[in-house]
Amino acid sequence: MLGMAIGDAMGAHVEFRPRSFLEQDPVTDLMGGGTWGLKPGQWTDDTSMALCLAISLIVKQG
C-alpha cells in the first residue's frame, strides 16, 4: 500500500501525459501541479479509493 501511494504521488503530476513527454522529462522527484493541480507529494483519488477498500476489508474481516 505504501509503494502504491508513493508511486501515485510521484506520477500524479504527469497523469494523462503522452509517453514522449515522459521520455523527454522523466519523473525523478515529487512535484505538484498536473491535471489535478495537486501539491507535491499529494496522491490521487486512486490511492484514496484503495485505502478506503483496504480499511473496509479490515473492518469487515474479509
**46 marked ligand binding residue:** yes
25 labelled ligand-binding:
no
* 44 annotated among ligand-binding-site residues: yes
Rounded Cα gap, residues 62 and 43, in angstroms: 25
Those residues whose C-beta lies under 8 Å from the C-beta of residue 38, and which sit 6 or more positions away, are: 12, 13, 32, 44
Which residues define the annotated binding site for Mg(2+)?
A: 44-46
Which residues define the annotated binding site?
A: 44-46
